Amino acid sequence: MQRRLVESGTGWALYLPKDILRLLGYDPKTTVVQYKIERDLLKISKVNPQDTNNNFLLKKINKSGNGYSLYLSSSIVQLLELTPEVDEVKYIIQNETLYIQKAH
């Protein structure tokens, strides 16, 4: 699935419909996710905040309209080599992990 990023404060947000969160097995009210960048791919996975170390970026899922969103700071967008005003991102769901990368 492809989406555009939406400007959000000093960064960007990726809108996630409720059905995508259900496919991932994420409860948006309680789930904490971990961001990890591997090459040009952002890997987002559900974590237990007590079981993690400080080497990973942890985020909560934000309410946005009828769905939810994930906030991506400008530095993460740069690491993914995205130009949000022009580029779209595609996301792939595998097991309970969401992969985001620039759509080509």
Provide the residue range defining the domain that includes 96. 2-102
pLDDT surpassing 70 at residue 8:
yes
What are the tens digits of pLDDT across the range 37-53?
A: 988 899 999 987 676 66
Worst-scoring range by mean pLDDT, 23-27, 33-37, 47-51, 67-71?
A: 47-51
Residue 55 CB partners (closer than 8 Å, separation 6+): none
User: Looking at residue 52, what is its pLDDT?
Assistant: 60
Q: pLDDT tier at 95 (50, 70, 90 boundaries)?
A: confident
Calculate the average pLDDT of the chain: 89
What are the tens digits of pLDDT across the range 72-82?
A: 999 999 999 99
- Return d(Cα 95, Cα 104) in angstroms, integer: 23
What predicted TM-score, i.e. pTM, was given to this entire model?
0.85
| Domains in the chain, number | 1
Sheet with 57-60, strands from edge to edge, namely 2-4, 88-94, 97-102, 41-47, 32-38, 57-60
